[in-house]
Structure formats: structure tokens, C-alpha cells
Amino acid sequence: MQKPIVEQSKRSIIHATSWIIFVLYFLIIYGLLWWSKIGRSVSIYDALISSLTITAITYIVYSSQQYYIPNKRNYWKLFSLAAIFALISITITRFIIVQFLPDEELMYLNFSLPFRFVINFLIITCVMTINVFWNIQEELLSNKKRKDESEKMVRDAELYNLRQQLQPHFLFNSLNSIIALIGNQPKEARNMVFQLSDFLRGTMRKDDKQFSNVEEELNHLILYLDIEKVRFGHRLDTEIDYHEELLKANIPVMILQPLVENAIKFGLYNVTEQVTIKISLTLDQQLLTIKIYNPFEPNQYEQKKGTGFGLSSIQRRLYLLFGRTDLLQTETQGNIFISILRIPQL
């Protein structure tokens, strides 16, 4: 939709420069002839004819090079083209003037041809340069637009996919636990079905928005943790530490839960004893910081730079949302692994 506007402003630039050139050229030639004491009857015609010719030539230059962008090595072509155009303009001017004026008055004309050539050459070079710059600008603009568009497309698709990873493993294991509970502890089983359906509803509801508040995300997380606790029994323990004030802070949807999920996997699958997952949230100067602590076996894992398994997709999502790569970091303290998530409050 932007194209017509660009084209329109290009056309007006062509008209404006052409007619400014016409007026200035007329005045300069007329002035120079007057200075050289050429008769007014001759100089008026001369100035008019030469400025009309140069204006016509600029129009030709503009229209013939509408989308032309020379390569780096081809700039000499531009100059020789300008020279040719200058030569043509001089020839035409002289041809027309000769038709109008008596020969005896034209002594000065041949004498002035080299000067006219140089002036025309410079003007045409200027016009061509402006034209090329304009074309380059236009190309950059459309390139950028295309790039933005494709990036947006990729972004949408990616966000969609990331969100779709609904962890079938989690779902089926939970269903298995429920089936196991139905026989002996029907009340517990019923409770877990409620939790699971609340959790699933929460996951689906969030499909259309990118951001939510901490309160909603924490509630969702607690549902998830409750289900995991039923699955893993006494082995899993959680602590959540936060201040009431930050419950209204913004947070991208479905970013906390996969992170905690990762911590649980990391913790439960590497430590056989009881596992405590600690989550602490703080809000400081427009920056929400969430730290997730889980135990792990330090010597079993490569201290990869940045993030471990499972965190890269979260990292990617944060980048797409905030354009920053430093929002998710990890560190270790002894046998405690800490994931640190920072959410700028926009």
C-alpha cells in the first residue's frame, strides 16, 4: 500500500527538479549572454531554447533510469552516459538555434559550446546521482518491509508451535496416575481430574494473547505443581516466594511453567532423594525477576554456556518478544541449579 505514495512523491520530485533546472538555466544563460554583450533578441531565444532542451533531457534521464541502480564497478558508465546526454543536448540546442537566427549573429555560439557542454554535463550528472540515490533508498525501503513481513510471519508461526508443545508425556502420565487412584482413592482421583482439566483449560485459554499477569500465571503453575506432586508423591516439594505487589506485573503467558517443568525434570531425574523446587519472584524498577532453584548433580552435566536442554525454546521466545537474548540466564551454586528469568515491564 505504500508504493503509490512513494511513486507520487518521486514524480513530484522529478517535476520540481526539472522545472527548477529550467528556470535557473534560463537565468544563467541569459545573464551570461547579457554579460558578454550579446543582443537581447538573440539571448532570449538562446536561453529559452537551451533551458527547454536541458529540461527535456532531464525528463528523459529520469524516465529511462526509473529503477536503475549501478553496481559499484559501474559508476563510470554513469559518467559516460552523462557525457553522451550532454553532447546530445548541445547538438540539439545548436541545431534549433541555427534554424532561428541569422548566421552573422552566431559567432559567439561556436565559441561557447565547450562551456555549455561542461555545464550540461554537470547538471545531468547531478540529476542522475539524485535519481540513483532515490532508487537505492526505495530499494532499501522495500527490502526492509519484506524482511519485517517475513520475520513477523516466522515469529507468529514459531510462537504458535512453541505454545502447541503440550507435553503429551505429562498428560498421559497424569492420566495413568488418575486411573491408578480411581480404585483405592476415588476422592483423590476426582480431585486430580479437576486439577488436570483446570490446567488444560488454562493452557488453551491463553492461545490468543501474549501477555498475562503474574497472578494468573502463578495459579496456573500451582495447578501444574499439584498434579506433579500427585505423580511423584513425597519426592517433590515446592516453595513459592513472592510479594503481593507484583501479582499484577506483566509476564508472557506459558513461560514460567515450562521453566519450572524443566527444573522438575532436571531435579527429579538426577537426584533420587526428595527434591525441593524453590521459586522466588521480585519486582525491582520495572524488571520482574524470577529465580527457580532445583538440585542437580554438578559433575554429571556439562556447564554449557547459556542454557541447558529445554531452555533454548524459552530463550527464543523471549528474544522474539523483547528482542533481547539476556533475559534467561542460569547459574549454579554447589549442587543447586538456578534459572533466572527477567521480564522487563513495558
Partner 1 sequence: MIKTILIDDEPLARSMVLEYLQQFPEFQVLAECNDGFEGVKAIQQHQPDLVFLDIQMPKLTGFEMLELLDQQPHIIFTTAFDEFALKAFEKNAIDYLLKPIRPDRFEKAIDKFKLSFQSQTKTKIDTDKLQESLAEETLERIVVKNGAQIKIIPIHQINYLEAYDDYVKIHTNDGMFLKNKTMSSFEKQLNPKQFVRVHRSFIVKVDQLQKIEPMEKDSYIATLTTGGKVNISKSGYARLKQIIGL
Interacting residues with partner 1 (CB under 8 A): 168-169, 172-173, 175-181, 183-184, 230-233, 235, 268-272, 300-302
Rg, Å, the chain Cα set: 38
With respect to partner 1, which residue has the nearer C-beta, 91 or 176?
176
Interstrand relation of 275-284 and 250-252 (parallel, antiparallel or unpaired): unpaired
With respect to partner 1, which residue has the nearer C-beta, 252 or 267?
267
Decide: helix, strand or coil at residue 338: strand
Q: Least Å distance between CB 200 and partner 1?
A: 16
Q: Which three cell numbers stand for residue 294?
A: 532445583
Q: Least Å distance between CB 86 and partner 1?
A: 53
Amino acid making up residue 159: L
Q: Least Å distance between CB 245 and partner 1?
A: 38
Would you say 241 and 278 are in contact if contact means Cβ atoms under 8 Å apart?
yes
Q: Least Å distance between CB 263 and partner 1?
A: 14
Q: Least Å distance between CB 332 and partner 1?
A: 15
With respect to partner 1, which residue has the nearer C-beta, 155 or 235?
235
Residue-wise DSSP of 101-132: S-GGGGHHHHHHHHHHHHHHHHHHHHHHHHHH
Per DSSP, which regions of 162-242 are E strands?
211-213, 236-241
With respect to partner 1, which residue has the nearer C-beta, 138 or 188?
188
With respect to partner 1, which residue has the nearer C-beta, 206 or 231?
231
With respect to partner 1, which residue has the nearer C-beta, 127 or 192?
192
d(Cα 210, Cα 213) in Å, to the nearest integer?
11
With respect to partner 1, which residue has the nearer C-beta, 2 or 184?
184
3-state SS of 197-208 is: HHHHHHHHHHHH
**Residue 342 CB-density burial (10 A; 0-12 exposed, 13-18 middle, 19+ buried):** middle
With respect to partner 1, which residue has the nearer C-beta, 264 or 321?
264
Q: Least Å distance between CB 260 and partner 1?
A: 17
Q: Least Å distance between CB 312 and partner 1?
A: 12
The dihedral sign for the CA sequence 179, 184, 185, 187? positive
Q: What percentage of the chain's residues is helix, strand, coil (to nearest 5)?
A: 70, 15, 15
Q: Least Å distance between CB 291 and partner 1?
A: 23
- 53's CB contacts (< 8 A; 6+ apart) are 89, 92, 93, 96
